[in-house]
A = this chain, B = another copy of it.
Amino acid sequence: MPLTHNDNLFQSSATRLIGKGLGAGAAGSEPLEADAAGWRILEGEVSLPVAVLRDSALQHNLAWMRRFMDAYGVELAPHGKTTMSPELFAMQLDAGAWGITLATAPQVRDAYRHGLRRVLVANQLVDRANMAIVSGLLADPDFEFCCLVDSAANAQALGAFFAAQGRRLRLLLEIGVAGGRTGVRDEAQVREVVDAIAQWPQSLALVGVETYEGVLKDEAGIRALLRRTLATLQALRVEGAFAEPRALLSGAGSAWYDVVAEEFAEVARDPGVRVLLRPGCYLTHDAGAYREADARIHASNPVARQLAEGLRPALQLWACVQSRPEPGRAIVGLGKRDAAFDAGLPLPVLRYREGDAAPQPAPAHWRLAAIMDQHAFLELADDDDLRVGDLLCFDICHPCLTFDKWRHLLRVDDAWRVTGVVRTYF
Contact = CB atoms under 8 A, between A and B. Distances in A.
A23 interface: yes
Interface string A202-213: 000000000000
* Copies, count: 2
Contact of A27 (B47, B126, B139, B326): B139
Q: How extensive is the interface on chain A, given as a class?
A: 35 or more
Given A24-B129, A127-B48, A129-B24, A405 B388 contact: no
B331 A181 contact: yes
Interface string A104-134: 1111011001000000000110111110111
Interface stretch (A216-224, A262-270, A371-379): A371-379
Contacts of A373: 81, 103, 400-401
B104 A20 contact: yes
Given A109-B28, A320-B126, A404 B405 contact: yes
Interface stretch (A148-156, A229-237, A304-312): A148-156
A239 to B, nearest CB: 23
Interface stretch (A51-59, A60-68, A282-290, A333-341): A333-341
A79 to B, nearest CB: 10
B375 A182 contact: yes
Contact of A374 (B47, B103, B320): B103
A87 interface: no
Contacts of A153: 324, 387-389
Interface in A231-271: none
A302 interface: no
Interface in A406-424: 407
A202 to B, nearest CB: 20
B24 A133 contact: yes
Contacts of A20: 104, 106-107, 426
Ranked 6 nearest A-B pairs via Cβ: A28-B136, A44-B128, A20-B106, A27-B136, A182-B323, A28-B133
Given A180-B325, A189-B325, 15 more contacts: A20-B426, A27-B139, A29-B109, A30-B113, A47-B104, A123-B322, A124-B333, A127-B333, A127-B389, A151-B325, A153-B389, A181-B325, A337-B401, A373-B401, A404-B405
